[in-house]
Amino acid sequence: MPSGATGSFNPTSVAGSGNSTLSVSTSSTTPAGTYTLTITGASGSLTHSASVTLVVNAVGGTVLLSQGQPTSASSSQSGNVPANGNDGLLTTRWAAANNTYPQWWQVDLGTSHSLSQVVINWYNSSSRAYQYQIETSNDNVTFTTVVDQTARTSTGDSTDNFSATGRYVRITVTGVIGGGWASFWESQVMEHRDAHRAVSSAENLGWWPTQARGSLVWGTKEP
């Protein structure tokens, strides 16, 4: 097995025409590549070996979670509803109903995730410095602050990296330098998935000689 990979047979032995499945699991440390695995079956003093190919492909990275998920907000301007804030379009936006603060926008991701990043495309960001905080929650009751940008003075869009677990993500705008209402075109909540490896290969192996006859089904398992 390559480093970081483990394998197991189920069942560990077969009789007659029984089958056994080999499952391979990999981790983020398993190097990508093509590997040859030699599998040997034994019955008494008789043995038979066969080889299978194990292909380990690098997958993972940052995954967008929030697009199209249910949203809510402390208030919204007519036509600039909360759902505009994660519809995948930079031509629609959420805006609060007035210029009082704080104002918040929230997305429900449906289930708890390991969160890593929030990207916000602010309205009129070239001339406004939005001040805000980002909170996460598993129950929509108790929220934990994971990003504090309440003293932010820079204009432009924002990208915040952090590590947290939660189902609900709330962006609370506490003020805007340059005037205006709390508003953004799009907010993207990301999950970082480790580069676990997808394993793929399938072959039928026959046990020989007759005393050890049976078949081994080469199975795969993704982490």
pLDDT digits (tens, 9 = 90+) for 2-57: 888 888 888 887 776 667 777 777 776 777 778 888 888 777 777 778 777 777 76
202 is a domain residue: yes
User: What is the residue range of 29's domain?
Assistant: 6-60+195-218
Considering the domain architecture, whether residues 39 and 71 belong to the same structural domain is answered as no
172 is a domain residue: yes
pTM of the predicted model over 0.75: no
223 is a domain residue: no
Count the domains in the chain. 2
Q: Give every CB contact of residue 210 below 8 A, 6+ residues apart in sequence.
A: none
Q: Does the pLDDT of residue 90 top 70, yes or no?
A: yes
Beta 71-73 vs 6-10: how paired, if at all? Answer: unpaired
Confidence at 135, pLDDT banded by 50, 70, 90: very high
1 is a domain residue: no
Considering the domain architecture, whether residues 56 and 127 belong to the same structural domain is answered as no
pLDDT (mean) for 131-148: 98
221: its two tokens:
């398992």
Scan for tokens 């939660």, then name that residue: 166
Considering the domain architecture, whether residues 112 and 18 belong to the same structural domain is answered as no
Q: Does the pLDDT of residue 109 top 90, yes or no?
A: yes
Cβ proximity of 142 and 104 under 8 Å: no
Q: Does the pLDDT of residue 133 top 80, yes or no?
A: yes
pLDDT digits (tens, 9 = 90+) for 153-211: 999 999 999 999 999 999 999 999 999 999 999 999 999 876 555 555 444 444 443 33
47 is a domain residue: yes
Q: What is the pLDDT of residue 208?
A: 41
